[in-house]
Structure 1
């Protein structure tokens, strides 16, 4: 009988060990699976958390002027609400940035990307709740 109880004890130890390994594997799997939930937002979520900056006409450095409008995408609807309240500050940043730029600075894709990146950085400095994800130029004319 002693050998039967030793075998039973070993079987119980193996069973408990396998159960623990299974539980740990399940926990790891679930934790890794939760990381997938931070997927890209849908277009509806992007629109809901975005703010339109109405068309502005202002002088560039030199004798030209620009007419421009934009859409600013934030990371949440709360951030979009804050940005809507800060509309006058955003327009001030836009006018100030553009007054330092020449038409040549805004030429081509790289010029527009530089402006969008600069605006994103400066607007994010204002924000208390959330942050700007992307700035999109929606209308653009230099005369």
Structure 2
């Protein structure tokens, strides 16, 4: 009879176990990575994002439920300071924040007054006035708001938002 030879590490039957071990490790790693990904997303949505949303609610620039934004169509206006036939233009689109729907309707009815106020403010500005570091655009928004309220005779516009601006 033939003698049975004990199996050694060099025999081909031992290699399938190594491939199987690698496959199990790869699958375990993938499952672990997926679990950490879902767990991290869950924790971020539960604890981090609500704090950011709450902070945004407490921001002073939020618009209340009663307030209304009134968009005003585009302006293309010559800027002042046109020396040496060097004309500069501004294209501007603004929206005005008003207290409620009634104020919105009143402002919409008075749109020629609003447009005239904005044009008169823009005609008095130079490109350098508007392009100042941090003050230029903020000063323009304040000037537009003040001029509209002055011409209207009462405070109707709470804030002016610039939605489009090109200076050429």
Task: Give the TM-score taking structure 1 as reference length.
Answer: 0.64
Please list the CA deviations of residues 79-122 of structure 1 after superposition, one character each: whole Å capped at 9, or x if unmatched: 11111111111111111111111000001331111111111111
- Residue in structure 1 matched with residue 15 of structure 2 by the alignment: none
- Does residue 131 of the first structure (1) align with residue 150 of the second (2)? no
- Residue in structure 1 matched with residue 130 of structure 2 by the alignment: 106
CA contact (8 A) 1:75 1:130 kept: no
Query: Among residues 34, 41, 64, which one is paired with 2:88 in the alignment?
Result: 64
CA contact (8 A) 2:113 2:152 kept: no
Say if 1:66 and 1:60 are closer, same or farther in 2 by CA, change over 3 A. same
Gaps of 5+ in 2: 1-59
Higher relative helix content = 1
Aligned residues: 103
- Does residue 140 of the first structure (1) align with residue 153 of the second (2)? no
Query: Among residues 83, 95, 98, which one is paired with 2:119 in the alignment?
Result: 95
Higher relative contact order (CA 8 A, sep 6+): 1
Gaps of 5+ in 1: 1-39
- Partner secondary structure for residue 45 of structure 1: coil
Which of these two proteins has the greater Rg computed from alpha carbons? Answer: 2
Structure 1 residue ranges (4+ consecutive) displaced by more than 6 angstroms after TM superposition: none
- Does residue 77 of the first structure (1) align with residue 101 of the second (2)? yes
Report the CA distance between 1:127 and its aligned residue.
3.5
Task: Give the TM-score taking structure 2 as reference length.
Answer: 0.55
CA contact (8 A) 2:78 2:89 kept: yes
The separation in 1 between residues aligned to 2:143 and 2:161, in whole angstroms, is 12
CA contact (8 A) 2:99 2:156 kept: yes
The separation in 1 between residues aligned to 2:61 and 2:162, in whole angstroms, is 20
- Cα-Cα RMSD: 2.2
